[in-house]
């Protein structure tokens, strides 16, 4: 393990040295993608190229050094991620073999690297939100590899290909490969995860925070049996397995509490209520957005019995505004509903909506312990997606 840690650190320190050289370069060349029009040297009707197209022998040297590191680190990852060829095999290609294997396992072509340094003035998303390993598994599939191969084999005549733009792209690729190589996982309370530093020590680049798919899914009762998959971040955000188990137990308790409550309600022996449930289930099949929620149907049935449709509009309106359901909903949700907006045409919809919201408040109260566990106490972890991340019960 000590040897492996030293190897990871060796690659990372070499990357940081290259990054520092790029930062030093930015002190002498203003790195921007804005069009610069000078009073001399350029026709005002034909603006000069952006600074991203600047090239030089020094930039070519940095590009070659960066891509040599990409070759080396991609081979290490190739062996780690199950590449079939053996170490020392001269036929191993860093792009068609190594970067391809990395892409198969990690879906690296989708991953975004953000340019976040204030030293660069990059205004276009295509220049500050990069996918540096997109098409990298193909022979010279990226602009940075084409430039690297060109200047490596014919530096003088290919010097103009070694631009700042391809250097930034190549360095972003090396940053991302170092992220995979270092394999850093992070634990954090859910409410603190958004403060995590996704630069991992880089002064130029950062990663996007992973989305909340596998957090909110668990909170909403989804059980994940298959491996989790990342999107445009190489990381997956998930609960720790212990918290996952606790939230699942809390969800099971909510389901039991709800079922026990409903079983004790006399309406479930009322044919009229059972017919209402049946009709709501049928609407669920045909009406987009409609979902049959038993507890909401229960409160709907009760409220409509209190305020039956055979009464006059004025009587129904008065009963609605004076009902405990209305006043509880208004005070609880700090909801300022103008009674004058209740009309003869919409009063039935208002009654049904109020009953639905009372039902949702009931479910909300049952879910409070689960939500507190999930959002206040729950520990999450950022785990690199190498095809084997999953929840374990």
Residue 44, pLDDT above cutoff 50: no
Residue 350, pLDDT above cutoff 60: yes
Residue 156, pLDDT above cutoff 60: yes
Q: By three-state DSSP, how is residue 197 classified?
A: coil
Q: State pLDDT tens for residues 231-262.
A: 999 999 999 999 999 999 999 999 999 999 99
How confident is the model at residue 48, as a pLDDT? 52
Contact 164, 29 (CB under 8 A): yes
Residue 2, pLDDT above cutoff 50: no
Which of the four pLDDT bands, split at 50, 70 and 90, describes residue 348? Answer: very high
Contact 159, 3 (CB under 8 A): no
The average pLDDT across 260-279 equals 93
Residue 40, pLDDT above cutoff 70: no
Residue 221, pLDDT above cutoff 60: yes
Q: State pLDDT tens for residues 300-340.
A: 999 999 999 999 999 999 999 999 988 888 887 666 677 88
Percent of the residues in the chain that have a pLDDT greater than 70, as a whole number: 94
Residue 237 to residues 73, 131, 189, 201, 240: CA-CA distances in angstroms? 25, 20, 11, 20, 9
Percent of the residues in the chain that have a pLDDT greater than 90, as a whole number: 77
Q: State pLDDT tens for residues 71-91.
A: 999 999 999 999 999 998 989
Give the closest residue to 144 by CA, choosing from 261, 244, 59: 59
How confident is the model at residue 276, as a pLDDT? 94
Q: By three-state DSSP, how is residue 211 classified?
A: coil
Q: By three-state DSSP, how is residue 383 classified?
A: strand
Q: Across the chain, what does the average pLDDT equal?
A: 91
Contact 381, 187 (CB under 8 A): yes
Torsion, Cα 33 194 220 332, to 10 degrees, reads -110
Beta carbons within 8 Å of 116's beta carbon, 6+ residues apart: 128, 199, 204, 205, 206
Residue 3, pLDDT above cutoff 50: no
How confident is the model at residue 5, as a pLDDT? 52
Scanning the structure block, which residue is given the tokens 């449930």?
277
Using a cut of 0.85, tell me whether the model's pTM lies above it. Answer: no
How confident is the model at residue 191, as a pLDDT? 86
Using CA of residue 370, residue 372, residue 378, residue 383, what is the dihedral sign?
positive
Which of the four pLDDT bands, split at 50, 70 and 90, describes residue 39? Answer: very low
How confident is the model at residue 232, as a pLDDT? 96
- Kindly provide the residue ranges of all beta strands, DSSP E only, lying in the chain, ordered along the sequence: 113-115, 129-130, 186-189, 205-207, 235-239, 379-384
């Amino acid at each position: 393990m000590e040897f492996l840690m030293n190897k990871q650190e060796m690659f990372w320190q070499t990357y940081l040295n290259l990054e520092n050289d790029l930062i030093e370069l930015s002190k002498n060349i203003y790195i921007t993608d804005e069009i610069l029009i000078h009073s001399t040297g350029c026709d005002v009707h034909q603006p000069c190229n952006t600074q991203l197209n600047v090239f030089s022998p020094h930039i070519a040297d940095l590009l070659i050094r960066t891509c040599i590191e990409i070759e080396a680190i991609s081979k290490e990852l190739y062996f780690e991620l199950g590449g079939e060829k053996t170490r020392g095999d001269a036929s191993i290609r860093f792009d068609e073999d190594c970067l391809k294997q990395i892409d198969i396992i990690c879906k690296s072509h989708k991953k975004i690297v953000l340019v976040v340094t204030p030293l660069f003035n990059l205004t276009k998303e295509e220049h500050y939100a990069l996918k540096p390993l997109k098409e990298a598994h193909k022979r010279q599939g990226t602009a940075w590899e084409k430039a690297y191969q060109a200047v490596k084999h014919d530096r003088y005549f290919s010097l103009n290909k070694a631009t700042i733009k391809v250097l930034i792209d190549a360095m972003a690729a090396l940053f991302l490969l170092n992220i995979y190589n270092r394999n850093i996982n992070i634990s954090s309370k859910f409410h603190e995860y958004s403060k995590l530093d996704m630069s991992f020590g880089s002064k130029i680049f950062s990663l996007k925070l992973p989305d909340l798919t596998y957090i909110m899914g668990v909170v909403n009762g989804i059980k994940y049996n298959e491996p989790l998959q990342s999107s445009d971040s190489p990381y997956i955000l998930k609960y720790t397995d212990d918290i996952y188990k606790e939230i699942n137990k809390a969800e099971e308790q909510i389901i039991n509490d709800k079922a026990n409550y409903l079983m004790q309600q006399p309406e479930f022996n009322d044919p009229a209520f059972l017919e209402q449930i049946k009709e709501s289930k049928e609407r669920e099949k045909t009406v987009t957005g409609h979902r049959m929620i038993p507890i909401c149907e229960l409160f709907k049935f009760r409220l409509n019995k209190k305020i039956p449709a055979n009464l006059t509009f004025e009587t129904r309106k008065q009963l609605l505004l004076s009902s405990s359901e209305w006043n509880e909903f208004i005070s609880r949700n700090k909801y300022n509903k103008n009674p004058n907006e209740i009309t003869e045409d919409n009063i039935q919809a208002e009654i049904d909506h109020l009953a639905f919201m009372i039902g949702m408040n009931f479910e909300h109260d049952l879910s409070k312990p689960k939500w507190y566990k999930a959002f206040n106490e729950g520990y999450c972890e950022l785990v690199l997606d190498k095809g084997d991340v999953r929840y374990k019960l």
